[in-house]
């Protein structure tokens, strides 16, 4: 059983560009959450998707948007990249997080560097 997978593993962009990160959840999981982990910090919650809709959102600007597909995979899009967006972006999947938050598992992350 494959766990949570993310692509790409590394990415380099320049300021002002747009980026799309992808996540495939663990088999049987229907909820996907995205986190930003800046260097030396703990992960910060960006948003959560369930049934193809954004269910929860953290304190991130509208430049951060997402999507969940019918197969539960998800994308994170960041527009107008800033230097401060450089971070490790983690995807986590769970089984209906509102009912089973303890089932959340994390992927290996995508490391984004904005120059």
Partner 1 sequence: AQSVTQLGSHVSVSEGALVLLRCNYSSSVPPYLFWYVQYPNQGLQLLLKYTTGATLVKGINGFEAEFKKSETSFHLTKPSAHMSDAAEYFCAVSDRTGNQFYFGTGTSLTVIP
**What is the nearest approach in angstroms of partner 1 to the Cβ of residue 97?**
6
Select 80 or 113, whichever has its Cβ closest to partner 1: 113
Two structure tokens written together for 111: 């490391």
Q: Which of residues 16-55 bind partner 1 (CB under 8 A)?
A: 33, 35, 40-45, 48, 55
**What is the nearest approach in angstroms of partner 1 to the Cβ of residue 28?**
16
Backbone region of residue 109 per phi and psi (left: phi > 0; alpha: psi in -120 to 50; beta: other values):
left
Question: For partner 1, how many residues bind (rule: CB under 8 A)?
Answer: 28
Strand-pair partners of 36: 44, 89
Residue 60 near partner 1 by CB under 8 A:
no
**What is the nearest approach in angstroms of partner 1 to the Cβ of residue 11?**
14
């Amino acid at each position: 059983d494959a766990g949570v997978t993310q692509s790409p593993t590394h990415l380099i962009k320049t300021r002002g560009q747009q980026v799309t990160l992808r996540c495939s959840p663990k088999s049987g999981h229907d909820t996907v959450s995205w986190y930003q982990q800046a260097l030396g910090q703990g992960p910060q919650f960006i948003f959560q998707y369930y049934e193809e809709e954004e269910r929860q959102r953290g304190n991130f600007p509208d430049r951060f948007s997402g999507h969940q597909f019918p197969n539960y995979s998800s994308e994170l899009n960041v527009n107008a990249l800033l230097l401060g967006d450089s971070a490790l972006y983690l995807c986590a999947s769970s089984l209906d997080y509102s009912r089973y938050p303890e089932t959340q598992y994390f992927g290996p992350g995508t490391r984004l560097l904005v120059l």
